[in-house]
């Protein structure tokens, strides 16, 4: 059964984000491979940092030229730690981000979290609940995709090396695959409050979205 929401399901963020992060990265990798083979390989990688008292690992993707295995593009799905003000995860991520932005590597950032502090940008962001940023090599300007809870996830362009054309990936399809494979339709508790809370107008809308589901559960 699909998510009752048209795009991002807001219940995931407060209930099962870590599992979703892993699953979404895997599905995104699978979606990319048919578009970039055989010139590029897609690799799932992990960043380790140490917010005391435990070790944390965050998955991300790299696109590499097959012959040299040189990294062409890094794709990040932001985690709550990356958006926690003053936290170790945010400091380490911002340091890595700055290094990539000053290199010949492209950076794609996906912010599918409503909560936390947005990453710093040169210009104010357009209104939205969720964002995707495409930063091309050695550029401190990004292509910004912004959308709301009420909209499907967009298709975004993933840059490759040299004159190779961008690859377009439908994030809504990736989300749907992740949701279905994880069985979130039965494992998420849709009777619990949404965390972080929605603004009043969106809370009323979300209640209407869930009404048919609630009725069918009776």
Question: Could you read off the pLDDT of 172-181 as tens digits, one per residue?
Answer: 999 999 999 9
Judge whether residue 2 has pLDDT over 80: yes
ω into residue 163 within 30 of 0, thus cis? no
Q: Are 40 and 29 in contact (CB under 8 A)?
A: no
pLDDT, position 52: 53
- pLDDT, mean of residues 190-203: 97
Judge whether residue 144 has pLDDT over 90: yes
% of the chain residues with pLDDT over 70: 94
Q: Look up the pTM and report it.
A: 0.94
Q: Are 104 and 137 in contact (CB under 8 A)?
A: yes
Judge whether residue 217 has pLDDT over 70: no
Judge whether residue 145 has pLDDT over 70: yes
Question: Could you read off the pLDDT of 62-81 as tens digits, one per residue?
Answer: 999 999 999 999 999 999 99
pLDDT, position 47: 81
Judge whether residue 49 has pLDDT over 80: no
Judge whether residue 58 has pLDDT over 90: no
Q: How many CB atoms lie within 10 A of CB 66?
A: 12
Q: Are 79 and 17 in contact (CB under 8 A)?
A: yes
- pLDDT, mean of residues 45-58: 74
Provide the pairing of β-strand 71-77 with 106-111.
parallel
- pLDDT, mean of residues 149-161: 98
Cα separation, 173 vs 153, in Å, equals 8
Taken in order of first residue, the domains within the chain and their CATH numbers are 10-217 (3.90.1570)
| H or E stretch at 12 | helix 10-15
Mapped onto helix, strand or coil, the DSSP state of residue 116 is coil
């Amino acid at each position: 059964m699909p998510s009752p929401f048209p795009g991002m399901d807001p219940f995931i963020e407060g209930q099962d984000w870590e599992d979703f992060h892993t699953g979404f990265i895997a599905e995104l990798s699978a979606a990319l491979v048919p578009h970039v083979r055989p010139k590029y390989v897609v690799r799932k990688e992990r960043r380790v940092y140490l917010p005391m008292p435990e070790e944390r690992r965050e998955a991300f993707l790299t696109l590499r030229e097959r012959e040299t295995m040189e990294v062409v593009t890094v794709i990040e799905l932001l985690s709550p730690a990356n958006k926690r003000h003053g936290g170790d995860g945010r400091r380490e991520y911002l340091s890595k981000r700055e290094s990539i932005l000053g290199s010949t590597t492209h950076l794609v950032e996906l912010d599918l979290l409503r909560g936390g502090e947005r990453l710093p940008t040169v210009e104010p962001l357009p209104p939205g609940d969720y964002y995707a940023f495409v930063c091309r090599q050695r550029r401190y300007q990004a292509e910004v995709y912004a959308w709301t809870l009420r909209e499907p996830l967009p298709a975004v362009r993933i840059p490759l090396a040299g004159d190779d054309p961008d690859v377009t990936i439908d994030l809504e399809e990736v989300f749907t695959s992740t949701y279905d494979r994880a069985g979130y339709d039965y494992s998420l508790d849709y009777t619990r409050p949404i965390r972080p809370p929605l603004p009043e107008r969106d809370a009323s809308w979300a209640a209407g979205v869930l009404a048919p589901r609630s009725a069918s559960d009776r």
